[in-house]
Each structure stands twice: as C-alpha cells, then as structure tokens.
Amino acid sequence: MSALSELYQEIALCQQCEIAKHRTKVVPGEGPEDAEIMFIGEAPGWHEDQQGRPFVGPAGKYLDELLASINLKREQVYIANVIKCRPQGNRDPLPTEILNCRQWLERQIELIHPKMVVTLGRYSMALFFPGKSISKIHGTALKQDSIIYFAMYHPAAALHQQSLHQTIQADMIKIPSLLAQTDGIAETKPQPQQLTMFED
Ligand code: URA
C-alpha cells in the first residue's frame, strides 16, 4: 500500500473534531502521488461529503474548466482541502478544525512534494501567506523549501461574483510559466509567522 493510501486510512479514523461525527464521508484529497501541482481548497461541501472526493460539485466543475484552460485534466493534479470533513451547513471552518486538520495537509505536502501549491480561497491562503489579504496577493507567488506557493481566489467565489471571473482566469494562466521557472525563482525569506505556521 502506498504511503498516501496509508495516510488516507489514518485520516478516515480521525475523530478529533465534532464535525467528524456528522460526516457522510471523509474527503482526504485525491490525485497522483507524484503530482507537480497541488490545489488546496477550503472544506468539503455537500457533494464532496456524499462522494468522499474533493471539488465534485459546481465549484469543482468550474475548477475543471480552469484546469482545461491550461491544458490540464484533474487527474494530473492533486486536489485537497484545508479540512477533510464537511462543516455542517457549509459554515466556515473553525480555527480548531483548521488546527486539528493541519497535520494531514502537512503530511500530504511532504509525501507528494509538489513543485507548486495553489491555494484556493482565504482559508487555504492564510496557511501559507499568513496575515495577507486575498484581494492584494491573488496571482502572486512565493517560494519556500523549493515549493512555489501561488494564491488564487476560490472558484466558488468566482461563481458567485461575476466580476471575479476574469481575475481567476487571468491568475490560472500564470501557473504554467511559474511551473516552468520553479528552479529560477528565488526562495522567499520566511517571516516569523511563516516559520511557526505548521507548529503546534
Ligand atoms: N469547496 C472547497 O473548498 N472544497 C471542495 O472540495 C469543494 C468545494
């Protein structure tokens, strides 16, 4: 069994948060173990909770379209979320839920070691660009430990707000050239907050 499959089994046993009791299925994430790009959304919604797969509802359809715009299929990338269980009523994730789930995401990144992590939305962005505002930093990248982190709006935000359509599409098409230049991009000096990002 692959290390990633073993991790999925561990995630499926997790009962650290109250929301674990209410989930239909846990949504650990999916994609190739050697994916070059990892997209990280916020949390499973109703469709994802039903199927145990990330981004399979309307936001997922839109993500598929965005991927197609850069000639990628979802099978070629890794897709995960900040939290692995659906918050009831699609509320925002709680800080304790993000903290409890952080270990899983951290291990996914370690195992996959993507060249690029694309954060989708504010919650995902906050893990890698702490203290920043999405309206200011979407479409920008930083490099740490040889991984490029690139911030984008959440596809659901663009579905609800027509004015973000062009923005999210313009950000998406920056991905191939960033990926091609990974070696040439200088490491960003970690800020104190970034150093503590994955500590308990
Ligand atoms: N929104 C997310 O952030 N993640 C999903 O998996 C689906 C919708």
Mean pLDDT of the chain: 94
Residue 197 pLDDT: 42
What's the rounded mean pLDDT across residues 92-104? Answer: 97
Whether residue 119 is predicted with pLDDT greater than 80 in this model: the reply is: yes
What's the rounded mean pLDDT across residues 96-113? Answer: 98
Say if residues 118 and 81 touch (Cβ distance below 8 Å). Answer: no
What's the rounded mean pLDDT across residues 143-172? Answer: 96
How many A from CA of 67 to the centre of ligand 1?
15
What's the rounded mean pLDDT across residues 127-139? Answer: 96
Reported confidence tier of residue 190, pLDDT bands at 50, 70, 90: low
Say if residues 86 and 23 touch (Cβ distance below 8 Å). Answer: yes
**pTM of the predicted model as reported, rounded to 2 decimal places:** 0.94
- Choose one of 50, 124, 154 to mutate for the ligand 1 pocket test, by most ligand atoms within 8 angstroms of C-beta: 154
SS3 185: coil
Whether residue 75 is predicted with pLDDT greater than 60 in this model: the reply is: yes
What's the rounded mean pLDDT across residues 161-179? Answer: 96
DSSP assignment string, 51-101: HT-SS-SHHHHHHHHHHHTTT--GGGSEEEES-SSPPGGGPPPPHHHHHHH
- C-alpha–C-alpha distance, residues 167 and 23, integer Å: 33
How many A from CA of 109 to the centre of ligand 1?
18
